[in-house]
Amino acid sequence: MNFTNVREEVRFTTEYGDGIIIANETLTNKIAADLSLADNIVYNVTEEREFEFIVNYKDPSLGNEIRIDGYTCFDDSCQYYEIEE
């Protein structure tokens, strides 16, 4: 899936946000047979803003729901720029 706005983080959480946070790049650290719910990779650079993730039920302890949240800024340190028309 692609996204167009800059994100400080794209967070994948099981149990629709009440479960565990799945770290970024778990999609690339496993072999295909071991991939489970919410394993993901986020490409968060200007040239390639997209993410890939796994949806399956191989590990019932993870549940069967995920939540994906995109955070633009965690605190007031982010800088926003006006768009010139």
In a domain, 1, yes or no: no
In a domain, 47, yes or no: yes
Confidence of residue 80 (pLDDT cuts 50, 70, 90): low
Tens digits of residue pLDDT in 45-74:
777 889 999 999 999 999 999 999 988 876
Q: How many domains does the chain have?
A: 1
* CA pair distance 18, 81, nearest whole angstrom: 34
How confident is the model at residue 48, as a pLDDT? Answer: 83
How confident is the model at residue 7, as a pLDDT? Answer: 81
Tens digits of residue pLDDT in 1-20:
777 777 888 899 999 989 99
* CA pair distance 50, 70, nearest whole angstrom: 12
In a domain, 80, yes or no: no
Q: Check the CA dihedral 29-35-39-40 and report its sign.
A: positive
In a domain, 84, yes or no: no
Range(s) of the domain holding residue 29: 9-71
Look up residue 9 and give its two tokens: 């983080």
Whether 34 shows a pLDDT value over 90: the answer reads yes
